[in-house]
Amino acid sequence: MLSGILSIAAAAVLVGIDQLLKVWATANLQPIGTMTLIPHVVELRYSLNEGMAFSLLWGKQGFLIAVTSVALIVLLGYLLLRKPPLLERIAWTLVLGGGVGNLIDRIASGQVVDYINFLFVDFAIFNFADICVTVGVALLFVCVLWGELGDRKKKPSGEEHTTDADT
């Protein structure tokens, strides 16, 4: 239970950072549009997104709010009631923090504030919450791969996988 509370506290810190960055972007970037960070590499560009990643489901705010809310409630319960391994817990904490950060925007204004724009590649403008979700999901893939590799290492070579139905 304590690890769940710590995960939720860490997610709350991520949400706070995300919301502060979005307030800063709105106050400082909205009036000017863009600010170069590294010429020809990355700029800060104020943008509003009514969809999810890559503007998918544009204008479907009710649906996005409902699905995201249910998923985050389930994730919150999982973190409180289970004790996953540390790397998995970190991954889910990042997903929770990023998901809540963008959900706040959707509920408050129907749009998510984005502000990071890579210039060297044709890519969507994104924000800190998006980074949290993306890194969290990438860590979950690592957890799955390590789990799969760990399972293979535990089995003696030549032993085939059987299920209860096979015995």
Q: 38 is written with which tokens?
A: 């590294």
Question: CA separation (Å) from 125 to 32, 81, 137?
Answer: 16, 35, 19
Question: CA separation (Å) from 2 to 14, 72, 79, 83, 90?
Answer: 18, 19, 10, 10, 14
18 is known as an active-site residue: no
Q: 71 is written with which tokens?
A: 């998923």
Q: 166 is written with which tokens?
A: 């096979």
Question: CA separation (Å) from 67 to 53, 63, 139?
Answer: 14, 6, 22
Of these residues, 18, 122, 130, 166, which one is catalytic? 130
Of these residues, 18, 105, 114, 151, which one is catalytic? 114
151 is known as an active-site residue: no
On whether the CB atoms of residues 55 and 124 are closer than 8 A, the answer is yes
Residues noted as catalytic:
114, 130
